[in-house]
Structure 1
């Protein structure tokens, strides 16, 4: 059996009892998932998976049928991009804070904001990032002491310089974003936020502190902008010295590319099965010239790395296999009644799946980003290429960000830096995933990888996937 739950060393009677118990537990979990789906949906049509019978077939052939069924249902459809007026209606404060045009003599998107109220009070005292991160609190305490020195006066009014990121490292998790972040920090013209991943656009803007939780207090845009005050001060010094500034800032929230799970909480469930507004719609309306970097990895390997990194206890190749089987069945059940985008962005389904299958469906997210931004605003890299030749990939990034030339010493310092956030020794000891698990995932991701390679015009993004002829079926790429 493909998803066997007990060792063959256990006697038959005890094994039968355990299997029956597992099925009962599974049935209870499915009922909980159904209830959650109904709570988040006002119409039955948004219940995005079918209930499987207790005596479902868990054989290898049955699970191969599941991934074949998924491949047969894959359809890539263009999305409707909302008008800016719709976005302003939803986030009026955001658009009242950020101007339509930024300072022309500054490379980074910055502007002067009129300061109102009592300037003697601590401007960072109520910042929710400071309350959540001790490291940020310490930075804010230092900035607070020099706050008045960072103010200018124009037409009798006090102003402070505000900045947004020039670029975003948008994804994906377990694809080398930490390593890229650490190397970029070594460039003399680059300033990156602490923390590395504010997760403001995808989560904290909606009041979601940790993925999967319900919203609490929403982090205002002003609190997010405070994270860029250190670079704003440096830019201001250049302006006061009557010189232009080439300094740029960025952030590296690996959720930005894919995580729209919180849209139902903010926008309600009366708009249909898929989100009518995505994170990139808001960024695009505020920063139409922004630049983005995505690092991708063989999605099969990414999923296993994700499981090893975020899993808590009882991690094993067998446990991973079982979770993959369960999640594939849930995803296939969703596709029976809904479109691909509706399933990929369905937060209830994503939180119910025990492994994050949807994160590796890169092309779905990429196509949606390309519905807002031009192709030359997105740099898409493979982790495999970055790991094998970091000097080459970093030079590509520097050119993409329009950064100046570096000295040979600084280039060596950046390219020779040891890799960051590599797999823990305890996780390496668990060994590789099972061959049958790899086979199922390879078939599952194949149509998405093929479409990704087509969009990027680069066959290496198929990750040299080998699909046996008995498993392949035609896929509609329209």
Structure 2
């Protein structure tokens, strides 16, 4: 960019002097005698390459600011010769044109400076290299060099000792309850026996003639819930006892907690075809991670908190059918066996809210995690995790959440910069701090931290026993759909499916697949895959060791 500014600056001034001399009736003789670039480290013609010998770079800029020294000496006519122009004295015209040129140069320079990319926070700033904007074919021709800008051996020396840390110590239950007393005043300590989902009766003090969902914040912001609220209202039923009215309330029986771009959407909507799970309709309420604190998108700041009652309304369709059985004789159709559930893909990893709620002090590892609250509310919850090759997950995440200027080359550039930022964090902080750091996450150009599955899994295992967590791979789900779904329903202790229902479930079209325009971009560059494979290798090894399953090495990728 600095070189562009320099060239534009010189070009503009030369044109102005040239034009001024022509007006004066002399040959263009005014020249810039001296233009110097004070650029420490600038080397003309120098090129570098990104990680794993991928793409050639533009010249590096030094760390000192640049400046230009302009000394203009026009070769003038003798002083006794007075050059006239139709507009008056020539020197005045020349001066005005010179000032006009300087003004235009200033405006061009300002337009570039004001649009300078300031996304990387100062705390973790790493000077990244600019990647050339050539086509993929041109980029592939640059693969001859193996020189890298990320020293992978040094990075591995940093990562390996960071992976060995003591298990997280979960906070005391009383401390968790004190953090959100209103939540735990609504949810009882014990649930109704004989019902598979965690349900209880809550006293209802409103008028039955009024719409109980009118003020629900999910109804305001969610079209799916707004459409279902009419059906919920028509089926709204109460239980009367001792002159009081009660409504049945339920929490999710299962949580599909992550990760993003790992097939959670497809899994959830196939599970709705099971007779015991058909009364769920909202996949991702993101209530535990964001909305109960008043956050929908962190960039918009805190808004109105979604109360727990609004969250419980999402499971009223199942509660109504459990409360007022609609028939059915088979085990899968009995209302008491209905399964409530949700699939917010942020539940496994997103604990950023603590930084926004307590942002005045120095950033630390979050004192409480989402799983602490879920476990305290319902210790018997079933947890399903869907994972995939972290390199492929990251590329899919990039394609899905980036709107414009997407390319395999751009993805590589962002990966390189993100790896550098993560390495910078690890130099002075713990692995868990860097994984959960909100300021670092906001600086990463791709969500690299979401692929460090082992850190999140170990923290969930600090509160939930291993037998309550099912970990799946998208690769197995894609190649053996029927077998994977059988494993899921067995884990949830759901009844067997009739042949017709199983056929419909397997034949259902896939959900949330890659868009056609993104498919046309092709796969990531081979050098990007090598870089991400090397980066994730130690984390995948520990994951495979904890799960005692070598498929989580993703060595077949």
Does the alignment reach a TM-score above 0.5?
yes
Alpha-carbon deviation of 1:240?
11
Matched, 1:169 2:256: yes
Identify if the C-alpha distance between structure 1 residues 154 and 240 changes in structure 2 by more than 3 Å, giving closer, same or farther: farther
Alignment partner, residue 49 of structure 2: 2
Identify if the C-alpha distance between structure 1 residues 2 and 68 changes in structure 2 by more than 3 Å, giving closer, same or farther: farther
Q: Distance in 2 between matches of 1:60 and 1:231?
A: 59
Matched, 1:85 2:174: yes
Structure 1 counterpart of 2:211, from 108, 122, 137: 122
Alpha-carbon deviation of 1:89?
1.0
Identify if the C-alpha distance between structure 1 residues 24 and 393 changes in structure 2 by more than 3 Å, giving closer, same or farther: same
Q: Distance in 1 between matches of 2:128 and 2:534?
A: 26
Structure 1 residue matching 2:150: 3-state secondary structure: helix
Alignment partner, residue 296 of structure 2: 209
TM-score by length of 1: 0.85
- Any residues of structure 2 matched to 1:415-454 within 5 Å, and which? 415-454=506-545
Identify if the C-alpha distance between structure 1 residues 393 and 57 changes in structure 2 by more than 3 Å, giving closer, same or farther: closer
Identify if the C-alpha distance between structure 1 residues 311 and 405 changes in structure 2 by more than 3 Å, giving closer, same or farther: same
Matched, 1:400 2:488: no
Alignment partner, residue 389 of structure 2: 298
Q: Distance in 1 between matches of 2:490 and 2:169?
A: 32
Matched, 1:200 2:247: no
Structure 1 residue matching 2:420: 3-state secondary structure: helix
Alignment partner, residue 273 of structure 1: 364
Structure 1 counterpart of 2:469, from 378, 395, 405: 378
Are 1:167 and 1:250, in contact at CA under 8 Å, matched by a contact in 2? Answer: yes
Matched, 1:96 2:200: no
Alignment partner, residue 471 of structure 1: none
Q: Distance in 2 between matches of 1:56 and 1:74?
A: 30
Alignment partner, residue 231 of structure 2: 142
Spell out, residue by residue over 1:334-392, the C-alpha distance to the aligned partner (whole angstroms, 9 max, x if none): 11221111111111211221100011111100000000000000000010001001000
Q: Distance in 2 between matches of 1:276 and 1:266?
A: 12
Q: Which moved more, 1:312-321 or 1:405-414?
A: 405-414
- Any residues of structure 2 matched to 1:324-403 within 5 Å, and which? 324-403=415-494
Q: Distance in 1 between matches of 2:485 and 2:316?
A: 26
Spell out, residue by residue over 1:441-460, the C-alpha distance to the aligned partner (whole angstroms, 9 max, x if none): 11111111000000100000
Q: Distance in 2 between matches of 1:54 and 1:157?
A: 66
Are 1:70 and 1:444, in contact at CA under 8 Å, matched by a contact in 2? Answer: no
Are 2:260 and 2:345, in contact at CA under 8 Å, matched by a contact in 1? Answer: yes
Alignment partner, residue 156 of structure 2: 68
Which stretches in structure 1 are left out of the alignment for 5+ residues?
A: 35-46, 467-478
Spell out, residue by residue over 1:31-51, the C-alpha distance to the aligned partner (whole angstroms, 9 max, x if none): xx23xxxxxxxxxxxx5x3x4
Spell out, residue by residue over 1:25-71, the C-alpha distance to the aligned partner (whole angstroms, 9 max, x if none): 878443xx23xxxxxxxxxxxx5x3x446899999433134643542
Q: Distance in 2 between matches of 1:375 and 1:364?
A: 15
Q: Distance in 1 between matches of 2:528 and 2:113?
A: 21
Structure 1 counterpart of 2:274, from 187, 199, 203: 187
Alignment partner, residue 44 of structure 2: none
Spell out, residue by residue over 1:180-210, the C-alpha distance to the aligned partner (whole angstroms, 9 max, x if none): 0121011011136432111111111111112
Identify if the C-alpha distance between structure 1 residues 240 and 316 changes in structure 2 by more than 3 Å, giving closer, same or farther: closer
Q: Distance in 2 between matches of 1:370 and 1:54?
A: 37
Name the Cα RMSD after superposition.
3.1
Structure 2 residue matching 1:191: 3-state secondary structure: coil
Alignment partner, residue 316 of structure 1: 407
Matched, 1:414 2:502: no
- Number of residue equivalences: 442
Alignment partner, residue 554 of structure 2: 463
Alpha-carbon deviation of 1:123?
1.4
Alignment partner, residue 197 of structure 2: 108
Q: Distance in 2 between matches of 1:23 and 1:73?
A: 41
Structure 1 residue matching 2:247: 3-state secondary structure: strand
Q: Distance in 2 between matches of 1:159 and 1:213?
A: 38
Identify if the C-alpha distance between structure 1 residues 16 and 359 changes in structure 2 by more than 3 Å, giving closer, same or farther: closer
Alpha-carbon deviation of 1:250?
0.5
Are 2:159 and 2:426, in contact at CA under 8 Å, matched by a contact in 1? Answer: no
Structure 2 residue matching 1:238: 3-state secondary structure: coil
Q: Distance in 2 between matches of 1:205 and 1:195?
A: 16
Are 2:454 and 2:543, in contact at CA under 8 Å, matched by a contact in 1? Answer: yes
Q: Distance in 2 between matches of 1:86 and 1:270?
A: 20
Spell out, residue by residue over 1:256-292, the C-alpha distance to the aligned partner (whole angstroms, 9 max, x if none): 1111111222355658610010000000000000001
Are 2:321 and 2:335, in contact at CA under 8 Å, matched by a contact in 1? Answer: no
Specify the structure having the higher radius of gyration (Cα). 2
TM-score by length of 2: 0.73
Identify if the C-alpha distance between structure 1 residues 210 and 2 changes in structure 2 by more than 3 Å, giving closer, same or farther: farther
